Structures are given as structure tokens and as C-alpha cells.
Amino acid sequence: MATVREYLDALPAKEAKSLRRVRDAALAAAPGGKTSISYGVIGIVFPNGARIHCGARSKGGLSLYAGHVSEAFTKELAQFTVSGTTIHFTSDHELPIALIKRITRKIVANADERAAARGKKRR
């Protein structure tokens, strides 16, 4: 797949709608992100280099690839399956928009912290 649109168009309507919802929430939480297909799924790269991915799973269902920040949301993610750094959900049991936004902001904040730490080490 070459574009996000083609990726979404290839999915069943309910799954495509759920992933659009995730993408839109992430972009609303941290404006300036650019979407593309990355690692075979939808990727969003933010101006500070932070990344978040989401996509359809081959075994069914959907995933949000949030990195290690999911550990900070254990209580809120209790009703979802979390495998490593991946949050699994379905179009019938979607992640709350507010949670997607908080996860996105945490990912962006972590990237800012890493950049600041690298800057301090160089001085």
C-alpha cells in the first residue's frame, strides 16, 4: 500500500472508520503530525520525531502501537488487551478518544524529554 487512503480503503468500513478515528484523535492531540504508511500500517510522525502507529491485525481486530507509554495507562487500558507495546481493540470496542489523545501527548512529551536530555549531554 502506498498511501494511508489506500490502506483504509482496503479495510472493511467499520475498521476503516475506527482507524480514521484513532488517526484524527492523535492529530488533534498533537498538531503538525504527518501520516504515511510505515511498517505496513498507518504511521504518524510529529515535528519532534515522536511516532505512533495504528493498523488492522491480520488475525482480526485493530492495534495502536503506542510504545512503552501504554505502561502509564495500565488502569485505563484494563478492559483492552495489551501485548508488549501494542494495544489491541476492535471496531465494536474502541479506545476512548480522550485516552488516545492522552497517549499521543505522552508519546510526544517523552520525545521532547529525550531530546532535552540529549541536548544536556552535548554541553
**Residue 115 confidence (pLDDT):** 82
**Local confidence pLDDT in tens for the 123 residues of the chain:** 689 999 999 999 999 999 999 999 999 999 999 999 999 999 999 999 999 999 999 888 999 999 889 889 999 999 999 999 999 999 999 999 999 999 999 999 999 988 888 876 655
To the nearest 10 degrees (0 to 180), the angle between helices 97-122 and 13-29 is 50
Name residues whose C-beta falls within 8 Å of residue 3's C-beta, 6 or more positions apart in sequence: 36, 37
| H-type alpha helices, the chain | 4-9, 13-29, 97-122
Question: So what's the pLDDT on residue 85?
Answer: 92
Q: Which residue ranges form the domains of the chain, and what is each CATH number? A: 4-122 (3.90.1150.200)
pLDDT value at residue 1: 60
Closest C-alpha to 22, from 51, 64, 76: 64
Of 43, 4, 30, residue with least CA distance to 107: 30
The confidence score (pLDDT) of residue 121 equals 63
Angle value at C-alpha 62, between 110 and 83, nearest 5 degrees? 60
The sheet with strand 34-38 has its strands ordered as 34-38, 41-45, 51-56, 62-65, 86-89, 81-83
Residue type, 10: A
